[in-house]
Structure formats: C-alpha cells, structure tokens
Amino acid sequence: MVEKTEVTMDSGEGTGPVPAKEPAEVLLGYYRDMVLIRSFELTAVEMYKRAKIGGYCHLNLGEEATVVGLTAALHKRDYLFTTYRDHGYALSRGMAPGQVMAELFGKTTGVAKGRGGSMHMFDTETRMLGGYGIVGGQIPPATGAALALTYRGEPGPDAEAVMCQLGDGTTNIGAFHESLNMAAIWDLPIVYVIVNNRLGMGTTVEAASGEPELYRRGASYRIPGERVDGNDVLAVREAAAAAMERARAQRQPGLLEVMSYRLKGHSVVDPARYRSSEDNERAREADPIPALRGSLLQAGIIDEEHATEIEREADEQVSAAVAFADSSPDPAPGELFDYAYATPVANAPHTLPGDPVVEMP
C-alpha cells in the first residue's frame, strides 16, 4: 500500500462547482478521473522515492480539474500536445494507467516503450502527441499539426483540431509568439491553453511577464483570449469546448488561460521553499478534489460511502498499474537506442538523418 503525503482527497468540506443541470453520471465520471490522477500522482512521488522512477518527474497535483475539464472538451479525433507535466493528460485521454506507470519506470511496456519517461507521454491511438521536455517545444509541432489539418479536411463541427497546452512561464518563449502569429494569419484550427499555475519553477507570473493577464497575450495577433477558473471542471470544459468548436468549425485559433494551482514543487525533487505559507494555504483551499467531492455530497449525487468507494477503486487501479510496471521487462541494453533516433546511426559523427546507413564497428 502506498503511503499518502499531506495532499489528500478526503476533506470533503469544499464548496466547488454547483452541478445544477449536469447529468450525475458525467459528474461522477469527472470525479473518478480526477481522483485517479490524484492517486496516480501521489503514488508517483512514492515510486520516485523508492528509485523506481528516474530523471525528471512533474506532477499534475492540484491541476486535476483543469486536466479533466480540458480533455473533456476534446473529440476523439482531436490532437493534444502538452508540456512535461503530462501524466494526468495521458490518463485522462485514455491511456492505460499500467502503461503510463510503466513509462515512468522506463519499461518496454510503457506508452513510449520506456524510452520517453515521465515527460514524453505519446500515443497515436489516443492522439496525444507528447509530452515535451523543452519549455515551449510542443508549440511549433502543435501549430504544424494544425496546418497539416487544413490540408486534410474541410472545417466543420466534426473536423479535427489541435489543443496545445503550455505553462504560464512558457508564454515568454519566442516560439509561443511566432506560432500564434502563424496560427492567426493561416486561420489554423488550434487552441493554445495556458495552464497558469502562477509559477514557472520558482518565478511568479508577475515577475516574469510584462502582461501578467496571460489571456491578453493573443491580442497582438487578434486571437481571442479567455480566462477561466481551473478548479471548476465544468467551467474549464465549457470554455475549452467553445474554443475548440470555433477552431473546428471556423478555423478560428483561440487562447485560453486556465487559473490553477500546483499543490507541490515544480518537480518531485523541489521542496518549494520559495512559497509562502499563505500561498500554500490558498492552494490547499482551492484544491479541486475536496471541492467537487463536497459539491457532489451536497447535491446528493453521492454519499460518503460511494465517494470512499470511488477513491478506493482509484487506489486499486493505481496499485495494479504499479504491479504491471514492476513486473514488466527493462529494454535490453543493446536495444536502448531503438525508437529514439530516426536512423540507426545514433551519435555517428557527420551523419545526418536520411544519409545512407553506416555500419557501426
């Protein structure tokens, strides 16, 4: 059994979004998805401490409503590009928890055959095309994918479109501005989603951005922007769905700023000493999981027993994911470069992709 840290899912006190006209099954589905992400991420921390996971590892703790709301706005045929903070998106988009955990463990059964790890969730089946470790690295390929879609089909309500998720700090990368400009002049079916968790590593948005109201940053490209409460899963879904619809039907690129909190450090090894106790308190108060739980209880959609059962099921799914990852094979040392390079001549000097294959001694 995995030991939980102080971030939990059972305070049950919050006053979250009021699920007025929303079908109970849909709300329960969102709660299940959010709780699965929470359990998965808390377990990832523990697995990292046990050295089952190496390298970088960034979590979606605190961003569960944002992740689930955004992916709920996607059609199956839409494409999603994200940052390295991608486990929740992979799960929410439909990748199997065992394969996501196996990717973290670097096992051959991982979604990217263990070659990518935490930052590089990738799956053509569910159309999540990364997971990018370079800040802003996802933005040009996402924009290129949207350009490709304009050659592939006509606009319409069922057309394919792209969602490109990025962090607040990432809006200061040149590629963000270059890509927005191209999306605007070429009418690309893409929605850029800034997850504003108020921090880029330890730097606040106010310290890093000349225009800290990040949804306004599309204005110079005449891309409409909107800010939404990232702790409200329904508000996120509605805003994202409307923007995606405009992208699909009118090829109108969009910009969405989702206000969220990172409950822990930048990555699992960051103790986040730069955060004030007030800031930590605000983040805990805004925690979307107890808030939605509280709303569901209040609305009589679940009772305490049902809520606990959902949480137990999530823990069981994650334990099964760990068992699957643990019992999966490591890649053979001789095959480590497989799937990692475009040609079989990894690191061969003076050789470019596409050059004739040189036999290595």
Ligand X SMILES: Cc1ncc(C[n+]2csc(CCOP(=O)(O)OP(=O)(O)O)c2C)c(N)n1
Amino acid at 150: T
134 scored as a contact of ligand X (CB under 6 A): yes
Given the DSSP bridges, would you call strands 128-132 and 162-167 parallel, antiparallel or unpaired? unpaired
Of residues 65, 135, 190, 314, which one binds ligand X by CB under 6 A? 135
Q: What residues form DSSP beta bridges with 123?
A: 128
Q: Quick count: other Cβ atoms within 10 Å of Cβ 151?
A: 6
| Among Mg ion, ligand X, none, partner that 135 touches (CB below 5 to 8 angstroms by kind) | ligand X
CB 175 to Mg ion: min, Å: 16
> Which of these segments, 11-19, 133-141, 222-230, 249-257, binds ligand X (CB under 6 A)?
133-141
201 scored as a contact of ligand X (CB under 6 A): yes
Tokens read off for 236: 């996120």
CB 308 to ligand X: min, Å: 31
How far is residue 260's CA from residue 235's CA, in Å, rounded to a whole number? 12
Q: Quick count: other Cβ atoms within 10 Å of Cβ 236?
A: 30
**Residue nearest to ligand X as judged by C-beta position:** 167
CB closer to ligand X, 109 vs 170: 170
> Which of these segments, 33-41, 69-77, 196-204, 213-221, binds ligand X (CB under 6 A)?
196-204
Residues binding ligand X: what is the number (CB under 6 A)? 14
Q: What angle do CA 200, 253, 220 make, to 5 degrees?
A: 65
138 scored as a contact of ligand X (CB under 6 A): no
Amino acid at 146: A
Residues 6+ apart with CB under 8 A from 45: 5, 59, 264, 268
| Among ligand X, Mg ion, none, partner that 201 touches (CB below 5 to 8 angstroms by kind) | ligand X
Query: What is the contact surface with ligand X in residues (CB under 6 A)?
Result: 83, 85, 133-135, 167-170, 197, 199-201, 266
